[in-house]
Structure 1
């Protein structure tokens, strides 16, 4: 099931790798879409606002989990590309231990601070209780989020993007059934939607674990492999945590933006929630294309082939931008119709707010093709410390717009906050990515220009 990306057509390799990953990302976002659609349709717009009131902090915490797991896969992909299976297994075992410790700490801290987090976000009082129940269950499911994301990242690092998709597809069907049962039959409200999501995520993670133990020989760990290594732990932390923090830092700006939007009232909270769910869903292809290019770059860095690294990045950017133009046009002209997935026609004000948010986002969607590919490939080449500052620029841009322009222009400023962040991050990450590729070239030539984790 593994795939070596150091030989063969770069375009075919990246796209064949990205397709299952894309479908998997779409399915993962379907969790959120299903939650929001069922909650909005069966429980009403206030319940939809309850689910969406904490979306930024969910992205902060869960994004850290996903980014960290993705970072742990980078050295594994590099050693796989270099054919060093002993090192690969060493890094795999150490990543499991670090992930377990991280899961315990994150779950404990987030569960204890759940109420304070919602207060910090200026969550309206009429939706506070439901928002708390939903967020608490999501936080308690952090270990399962980390489990799936770590194992799927490791499988992708050895070239298998199909298996995580298959297991995610199974859990998505389960999620739909559980959503309907928990919300409609058991009448557990917003908490029921969260329970359905966590259980489905747990199933997909467990399936990945069983598959690896039974079928993936390159990842089967002997007693000899199950030993902690200080250099491996250090390198994994250097690669994984900055990638996780990059997601979290980006989310801090989103939290400030959400807090500013929450103060505008539940109509705008509901409209923003519906629009954000659609936006997140349509952003899935960017992650797939960028991850494909990143794994391609990592494996070819291990193989010492600079020409293929450059070609892979160009392909990722080109495909991402092309998709961005198409997706942007859809959001501009069909944003209101898409919002009907979550909002009843009778909630005209909420529909208008959601459509407005998507309309303005559509004009700038193409920039995400550049941003995601350059950022992921910078990380894939081993420079997660530099990539993290693209998240810092996004955070600064979102906070600036939220604090300066939202008080003056209200919801209209909210509709331009993401775009300001995307442009600012592109201005930073493009030259940084070029710099990292050049350093990789010097390393391959024998000058050892890479950071310590690549040596």
Structure 2
């Protein structure tokens, strides 16, 4: 007769097998990826909607938009630490569920929650104390520093909500509840869209109103996620006993979480490099153009991330169950979809750059600059789909070192040096914009080649 613990693990594995282990891959990916993609798009609205409203504030919109754009590296760092603890742990929890070990998955969840709370406290303190010199170092000028300080001072008060909402939501997706994960983001995003115009225009709070709307909305999302993971609706639950840090578990989370952390934190470093270079070679108008293009980049990358996150539990679960054929099938479908999305988006942005530019600003000089530089900046984004598909697969299979290298490749090894060197070689600010497509194409081709070279070893043709 099975003990209660063994029986629970067996029942859990049988229930999970009905979906992650047996459903047709196409149908299963649609079930998980569509809500995940929608969640990513909705989550993107937090920052993008803020910028659209801010950019359209009468008289000061362009300068306010540039000021808020300078704060973007800080926002990315906060999100990166959420990914470090959340996305680093969620695939491990999925693998444990695939192996039928629910207690092990819950210990990973508890340790991840502790890591999120600690990092939230540290980030709030550090950025609040040194925000002004940091913003100047990130590319702010005297013309825009006031807007940047106003926005980030309020935003930092909600750091803990951002950490919990983003970090813990990965555990809802990890157990196959992508629709619930989407709903947790949808609640906050809709609230943000409603509160933004009220605080910014009706109450006359400007950029401070945008920041306040964002943190209140993230607080609601965080409470929703916590309530779900503490309830009987969740396969794995938050338990106080599991929040005591375990060195072995924290180490495993950190080793896998460093890749998504690097991917997001290097976005912050990239923003700093681009903004400071554009400020030096061009001025505030060029920094404003990059704020718009980075916002559009978010609009493109987020749905691709959502599709990838929908595929990750399928691959992690079946890898844990040693069903390698399903992992290979999932990868092939993921690659087709992500490449299709990035190719179509590349064509639209290169051919019609003025359409998205006018969403963010009414200033004609800024629109003209974006129309001129956007086709250059996005010329290589078509290849990004291949990198995301391979990067996600390495993450899903627990390949921490490979994931780390690939995370470093596109941004640290390629883009940042190119963005520093090219404008000096060409003597033109356009060299900064050219760096992006070169890095995209080289990194994507390298990532795909590496995956194809290692696929037989990682995913044997015959299951054991």
Shared topology, TM-score over 0.5?
yes
Counterpart pick for 2:210 among 193, 197, 207: 193
Structure 1 position 92 matched with structure 2 position 114: no
**Count of matched residue pairs:** 444
Q: Which runs of 5+ in 2 are unaligned?
A: 1-14
- Give distance in 2, aligned partners of 1:61 and 1:428: 29
Which residue does the alignment assign to 2:279?
A: 262
Structure 1 position 18 matched with structure 2 position 28: no
Residue 67 of structure 1 deviates from its aligned partner by 4.4
* Cα shift readout 1:158-208 (whole Å, capped 9, x = no counterpart): 011111211222222211222112211222221221111111111111111
Residue 367 of structure 1 deviates from its aligned partner by 0.9
For the Cα contact (< 8 Å) 1:327–1:362, is it kept in 2?
A: no
Which residue does the alignment assign to 2:8?
A: none
Residue 227 of structure 1 deviates from its aligned partner by 4.9
Residue 435 of structure 1 deviates from its aligned partner by 5.2
- Give distance in 1, aligned partners of 2:90 and 2:371: 38
Query: In structure 2, do the counterparts of structure 1 residues 11 and 409 end up closer, same or farther at CA, with 3 Å as the change threshold?
Result: farther
Which residue does the alignment assign to 1:350?
A: 366
* Cα shift readout 1:236-260 (whole Å, capped 9, x = no counterpart): 2222234313321343233212211
3-state SS of the aligned residue for 1:297? helix
Counterpart pick for 1:27 among 28, 36, 42: 42
Which residue does the alignment assign to 2:444?
A: 426
For the Cα contact (< 8 Å) 1:275–1:357, is it kept in 2?
A: no
For the Cα contact (< 8 Å) 1:243–1:384, is it kept in 2?
A: no
Structure 1 position 303 matched with structure 2 position 321: yes
Residue 436 of structure 1 deviates from its aligned partner by 5.2
- Give distance in 2, aligned partners of 1:77 and 1:67: 16
Structure 1 position 205 matched with structure 2 position 225: no
Query: In structure 2, do the counterparts of structure 1 residues 105 and 5 end up closer, same or farther at CA, with 3 Å as the change threshold?
Result: same
* Cα shift readout 1:89-143 (whole Å, capped 9, x = no counterpart): 1111111112211221222222222222212123111001111221233333221
For the Cα contact (< 8 Å) 1:68–1:242, is it kept in 2?
A: no
For the Cα contact (< 8 Å) 2:37–2:302, is it kept in 1?
A: yes
For the Cα contact (< 8 Å) 2:259–2:407, is it kept in 1?
A: no
Query: In structure 2, do the counterparts of structure 1 residues 61 and 255 end up closer, same or farther at CA, with 3 Å as the change threshold?
Result: farther
Structure 1 position 288 matched with structure 2 position 303: no
Which residue does the alignment assign to 1:38?
A: 53
For the Cα contact (< 8 Å) 1:379–1:387, is it kept in 2?
A: yes
Structure 1 position 169 matched with structure 2 position 181: no
- Give distance in 2, aligned partners of 1:368 and 1:8: 28
Q: Which runs of 5+ in 1 are unaligned?
A: 447-455
For the Cα contact (< 8 Å) 1:254–1:395, is it kept in 2?
A: no
3-state SS of the aligned residue for 1:382? coil
Structure 1 position 129 matched with structure 2 position 146: yes
Which residue does the alignment assign to 1:369?
A: 385
- Give distance in 1, aligned partners of 2:423 and 2:398: 38
Structure 1 position 337 matched with structure 2 position 352: no
For the Cα contact (< 8 Å) 1:56–1:255, is it kept in 2?
A: yes
Which residue does the alignment assign to 2:134?
A: 117
Between 1:38-47 and 1:212-221, the stretch displaced more is 212-221
Between 1:54-63 and 1:73-82, the stretch displaced more is 54-63
- Give distance in 2, aligned partners of 1:223 and 1:400: 45
- Give distance in 2, aligned partners of 1:265 and 1:190: 21
Between 1:48-57 and 1:147-156, the stretch displaced more is 48-57
For the Cα contact (< 8 Å) 2:111–2:242, is it kept in 1?
A: no
3-state SS of the aligned residue for 2:176? coil
3-state SS of the aligned residue for 1:12? helix
